[in-house]
């Protein structure tokens, strides 16, 4: 068997549909919007994609394993708690978080004015510099469910480095 590499990449994807009477939370930041995302937690699709990227890099099961949407005790949970849990796994397996790069795909609302606040919040949860976090916002050019503004999707990759 080959020696394991001193670093590993991870990838995560998530999507949530819009729902009335919900607060829109992305990257741990409240975004002004006439509707939010549906979900068992606060439905922070970006934080979920990042958490799955981290867990994937470590070869661990996805966030549904740690935070099942059938568990009433975690209804409405702040997704920064989910991210913090993924972060603890990095440390306990002897790795450190290198960087994160993510893309939020949303037709509306406009995400770009909130990117630096999101980086600050995520950096604080994950104990890394804001400079180690990339977040892009794009639309789906009107195509498909995201293009019809029925929800928001997020993709994320991360690098973890063996200590
Ligand atoms: Mg999710």
Strands 7-19 and 36-37: what pairing? antiparallel
How far, in Å, is the centroid of ligand 1 from the Cα of 151? 12
CA of 14 to the centre of ligand 1 (A): 5
* pLDDT, average across residues 54-83: 94
**Residue 92 reports pLDDT greater than 90:** yes
Q: Give the pLDDT confidence score for residue 4 in this predicted structure.
A: 76
Contacts of 44 (CB under 8 A, 6+ apart): 25, 26, 27, 28, 37, 79, 80
CB 53 within 8 A of CB 10: yes
Six token digits for residue 1: 């068997």
pLDDT for 3: 73
How far is the centre of ligand 1, averaged over its atoms, from the C-alpha of 90 (Å)?
Answer: 20
User: What spacing in Å lies between the alpha carbon of 4 and ligand 1's midpoint?
Assistant: 30
CA of 156 to the centre of ligand 1 (A): 13
Ligand 1 center to 161 CA (angstroms)? 25
Supply the mean pLDDT for the chain: 96
Does the pLDDT at position 17 exceed 90?
yes
CA of 3 to the centre of ligand 1 (A): 34
pLDDT in tens, 94-121: 999 999 999 999 999 999 999 999 999 9
Ligand 1 centre from 1 Cα, in Å? 36
Instruction: Note the pLDDT of residue 1.
Output: 64
Nearest CA among 131, 144, 63, 146 for reference residue 97: 131
Q: How far is the CA of 131 from the centre of ligand 1 (A)?
A: 25
Residue 82's pLDDT is what? 96
């Amino acid at each position: 068997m080959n020696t394991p590499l001193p670093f590993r990449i991870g990838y995560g994807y998530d999507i949530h549909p819009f729902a009335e009477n919900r607060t829109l939370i992305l990257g741990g930041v409240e975004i002004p919007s006439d509707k939010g995302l549906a979900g068992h937690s606060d439905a922070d699709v970006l934080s979920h994609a990042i958490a799955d990227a981290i867990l994937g890099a470590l070869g661990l099961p996805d966030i549904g394993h740690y935070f099942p949407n059938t568990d009433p005790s975690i209804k409405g949970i702040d997704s920064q708690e989910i991210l913090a849990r993924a972060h603890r796994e990095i440390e306990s397996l002897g790795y450190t978080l290198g960087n994160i790069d993510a893309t939020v795909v949303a037709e509306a609302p406009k995400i770009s004015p909130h990117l630096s606040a999101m980086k600050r919040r995520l950096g604080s949860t994950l104990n890394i510099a804001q400079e180690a976090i990339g977040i892009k916002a794009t639309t789906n050019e009107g195509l498909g469910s995201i293009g019809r503004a029925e929800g928001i999707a997020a993709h994320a990759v991360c690098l973890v480095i063996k200590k």
